[in-house]
Amino acid sequence: MLQYHIAVCDDERFAADAIASAAERELSRRGAGVDIEVYTALEELAKRMDSVGFDLVLLDIEMPGIDGIQFGRALREIGFGTDIVYVSNSEERVFESLSLRPLGFVRKSHFNADMADAMETFVRERRKQSANRTITLKMVHAMGTFDIDDITYVEAHRREKTVHLANGRTEEVLTTLDEMGEKLAPYGFFRVHKGFLVNFAHVRQVTPQGFVVGKDTVPIGRSKVSEARHAYMDYLNNKNAIML
C-alpha cells in the first residue's frame, strides 16, 4: 500500500479537521494509507517542516499574518518541493497561486468534488514518481542520475556532499542535503543527523552509535535519536517487516 505523510493547515480548527477527514477518505478510496497532521497556525507547521518532510500540504489561503500563498512562496524559495493543494473560499486567488506550481485548488464551495480531483491527481503523480525510481543531482561538471535504490546514505561535510552507493562507490555532488532530503523522503530516506541522510532500506542494524549501513555506521544526531528510531520502526511496519 502506498503510504503518505500529509499536513493540513487552516486557522479554523473545525475546517482543518474537515479537510483532513476528506483527504484521508479520498486517499483511502484510492488504496493509499495516510498519516495526517493538523495545524491551525503556519508558524507551527513551519517549525515541524524544519525536521519532517511531508508529501503534501493542504493550505488555507486566507489566514492571519502570513497567508497560504506567502507561505507556499517561502517554501519554493528555500527549495522545498512538497506538493501543495490550496483549500479556500478565495477563488479569485487561484491565478495568484499558479506561479507556485500547486498540485491543485479545492474550492470550499465545491469541496467534495474538488477534493476528490485533487487527491486523484496527487496519487497519480506519486505513482508516476515511484515507477521512475531515479534522482538527478548536480555534480561539479555535469548532472548525474542515480538509481534511488542504490543509494545507501548521503554524507555532508561543510560544502562537500558525498553519495554512498551499494557497490561501495562514492560520488561527490553539489545538490544540498536539504534538497536531497526533500526529494528522497518518499522513498524511505530520513535525515538522521544534520550531516547525514540514510536510506532505511539499507540499514542492517541499529546500535547506540547509529544506523549500521553496509560496513559503515551512520551517526544519529542527539536531538534526532527518538524521532529517527520511531521513523525507522514506522518504515519497517509499513514494509510489513517481521521483527523478533
**How many CB atoms neighbour CB 91 within 10 A?**
13
Residues with Cβ within 8 Å of residue 221, at least 6 apart in sequence: 192, 193, 194, 228
The pLDDT assigned to 13 comes to: 95
> All 3 cell numbers of residue 50?
524544519
Cβ of 165: how many Cβ atoms within 10 Å? 15
pLDDT tens across 122-154, in order? 998 888 776 667 888 888 777 888 889 889 999
Residue carrying C-alpha cell 534526532: 224
Residues 34-81: tens digit of each pLDDT: 899 999 999 999 988 877 778 899 999 988 888 899 999 888 877 677
Q: Across the chain, what does the average pLDDT equal?
A: 87
Give residue 244's pLDDT.
43
pLDDT, greater one: 238 or 118: 118
DSSP assignment of 45-83:
HHHHHTT---SEEEEES--SSS-HHHHHHHHHHTT---E
pLDDT of 238 strictly over 80: no
Q: How confident is the model over 146-182, as pLDDT tens digits?
A: 889 889 999 998 788 999 998 888 999 998 898 899 8
Lowest mean pLDDT among 8-12, 44-48, 234-238: 234-238
Residue type at 68 in one-letter notation: G
**Is the full-model pTM beyond 0.85?**
no
